[in-house]
Amino acid sequence: MKVLVVGGGGREHALAWKIAQSPLVTELYCAPGNPGIAKHAECIDIPVTNLDALVAFAIERKIDLTVVGPEDPLSRGIVDLFDSKGLKVFGPSKAAAQLEASKAFAKRIMDKYKIPTAKHETFTDAESAIAYVREQGAPIVVKADGLAAGKGVVVAQSIEEAIDAIRAMMSDKVFGDAGSRVVIEECLLGEESSILAFCDGTTVVPMVPSQDHKAVNDGDTGPNTGGMGAYAPAPVVPKEMLPEITRTILQPCLDGMAKEGAPYKGVLYAGLMITAQGPKVIEFNCRFGDPETQVVLPLLTSDIVPIFHACCDGTLRDATIEWSNDSCVSVVMASGGYPGVFEKGMPIKGIEVAEINEAVKVFHAGTKQSGGDVVTNGGRVLNVTAIGPDIRGAIVSAYDAVSHIYFQRAHYRIDIGKKALQRLTY
């Protein structure tokens, strides 16, 4: 079987790594890929937004399955295009991908199908949004409606901070057209968790719960990023809570999308707040989370390729999906200055030493090959990932691996997984 992975970050490295383990796969390609992915797949220099070139490549190479990583091509309709050419592709249609591409759309679905979420209002006018914030008070959450690479959310602790965020999004256009419309919502209290779920349009199967760390600095301080690390399983979501999440959130979303004429296939990502009143949705994403994928897939003991096929074919109910009882932790090593201005081209040393430990896998997120060196080429550079028999062991192994890796001005949090330790008794 020939498989194509679309994307070039840490999530796609984890996907390629997992897919390469399947005995069903004879050829594996990734577009555009990165130096880490190149160890598992042939990297093809096609941008994720060049849908015509991607479909032409898939036709030319007779690709049997395409797995789409990033949200951008999904929101542009890559699945619809591949479907129209008779090519099997894992991911939601353009209509279904609106769950991530438009927060206002997602809120409408949640309201209509009674999926628990925060109280909210949507605005296309900055002054009306500011008036609403003054009326509601703080803390309050300001979200750009469209795609903003995981950075279009501000949890404002004061009215002034919220107003600044509204003006930055709507007037200054810091996120381009994504901020032309904003969603203002109440600030939910609790602890966050990410639930990724396989979907075939009818059946939904949740994966191991994980927890992302969005803030750039320790203690969840500083601006939001695309994610500075993650761990799984997240004890804030015990096993007995998963059926409730499926019953009240995941299945109603899938059923609702089908009723809307946009059956949802692929991975549904539910970003949840576990509140005193139960789980509530912060956001839906239409693809594997990043960096959650890097800690969830290492715990999947089943062959992932038949699962992808089952999602595409509507046979997920019959699929074998089994998980390890281990834990996994991933620490993001980022460029200094991220998520603001940062430099690229810093040589990276020590990855091979870090991976001497068989429990460690370093997923490349923002790297490129420059001569004989692998150098930094993005804000989030590496996902240093380790498996352990428990969270504590995985944390120790992950940070030991981090200590062997060096690039100039590297920044990383030292408290990834700390919330799990606070919930567990050793």
Predicted local confidence at residue 17, as pLDDT: 98
Last residue of a domain, one of 267, 287, 318: 318
| Same domain? 211 vs 276 | yes
CATH number, domain at 20? 3.40.50.20
Domain extent at residue 59:
2-91
pLDDT tens-digit profile of 170-182?
Answer: 888 888 888 888 9
Mean pLDDT of the residues in the chain: 95
When comparing pLDDT for 195 and 102, which is higher? 195
The residues, any chain, with a CB within 8 Å of residue 322's CB and separated by 6 or more, are 300, 301, 302
For residue 28, what are its two tokens? 């594996």
308 and 245 both lie in a single domain: yes
Instruction: Identify the band that residue 426 occupies on the pLDDT scale cut at 50, 70 and 90.
Output: very low
Q: Which residue has the higher pLDDT, 56 or 173?
A: 56
Instruction: Give residue for tokens 């004890």.
Output: 235
Q: Would you state the structure tokens that stand for residue 147, as one six-digit string?
A: 């795609």
In the predicted structure, residue 9 carries a pLDDT above the cut 60 = yes
**Which CATH number do you get for residue 279?**
3.30.470.20
Quote the pLDDT of residue 186: 92
How does pLDDT run across 291-307, given as a tens digit for each residue? 999 999 999 999 999 99
Q: How confident is the model at residue 425 (pLDDT cuts 50, 70, 90)?
A: low
Which residues of 301-378 form beta strands (DSSP E)?
327-335, 360-364, 367-370, 373-376
Cis peptide before 238 (omega within 30 of 0): no
Structure tokens at 125: 């006018």
Query: Strands of 140-144's sheet, edge to edge?
Result: 120-123, 182-186, 140-144, 153-156
The sheet carrying 191-200 orders its strands as 204-206, 191-200, 265-275, 278-285
Supply the CATH number for residue 397's domain: 3.90.600.10
d(CA 97, CA 105): 10
Residue 16 lies in a domain: yes
Angle made by CA atoms 327, 332, 337, in degrees to the nearest 5: 160
Q: Please indicate, yes or no, whether residues 225 and 303 belong to a single structural domain of this protein.
A: yes
Q: How far is CA 326 from the centre of its chain?
A: 21
pLDDT higher than 60, residue 104: yes
Report the first-to-last Cα separation within the chain, whole angstroms: 45
Same domain, 305 and 196: yes
Identify the weakest region by mean pLDDT among 3-17, 18-32, 125-139, 309-323.
Answer: 125-139
Say if residue 140 is in the same domain as residue 22: no
Task: Judge whether 83 lies within some domain.
Answer: yes
- Mark which of 91, 111, 137 sits at the end of a domain: 91
Q: Which of 91, 107, 142 is the last residue of a domain?
A: 91
Q: Which residues contact 336 (CB under 8 A, 6 or more apart)?
A: 342, 343, 408, 409, 410, 411
Selected residue with higher pLDDT from 149 and 378: 378
Q: What is the pLDDT of residue 152?
A: 82
308-353: per-residue pLDDT in tens? 999 999 999 999 999 999 999 999 999 999 999 999 999 999 999 9
Could you give the angle at which helices 159-170 and 126-136 cross, rounded to 10 degrees? 160
Q: What is the mean pLDDT of residues 35-44?
A: 98
Q: What per-residue confidence (pLDDT) applies to 174?
A: 84
Query: What's the pLDDT score for residue 270?
Result: 97
- The pLDDT confidence band at residue 150, using thresholds 50, 70 and 90, is low
* Residues 310 and 386 reside in one and the same domain: no
Instruction: Give the mean model confidence (pLDDT) for residues 61-90.
Output: 97
- Point out the least confidently predicted range of 154-163, 266-275, 318-327, 365-374: 154-163
Domain identity same for 303 and 336: no
Measured distance CA(379)–CA(366) in Å, rounded: 7
Whether 87 has a pLDDT exceeding 60, the answer reads yes
Residues 48 and 140 in one domain: no
The whole model's pTM is what?
Answer: 0.93
Q: Quick one: average pLDDT of 354-380?
A: 97
pLDDT for the residue numbered 120: 87
Lowest mean pLDDT segment, chosen from 77-81, 89-93, 419-423: 419-423
What CA–CA distance (Å, rounded) separates 219 from 390?
Answer: 22
Decide if 142 is inside a domain.
yes
In a domain, 79, yes or no: yes
Note the pLDDT of residue 423: 87
Higher pLDDT, 150 or 135: 135
Residue 96 lies in a domain: no
Phi, psi of 13, rounded to the nearest 5 degrees: -65, -45
Question: In the chain, how many domains are there?
Answer: 4
Distant-in-sequence, close-in-space partners of 358: CB < 8 Å, separation ≥ 6 = none
Buried b (16+ CB within 10 A) or exposed e, 305-316: bbbbbbbbeeeb
**Structural domain includes residue 119:** no
Distance CA 198, CA 265 (A): 8
**Number of alpha carbons in the 13 Å side-chain half-sphere of residue 378:** 20
* pLDDT tens digits, one per residue of 267-295: 999 999 999 999 999 999 999 999 999 99
111 lies in some domain: no
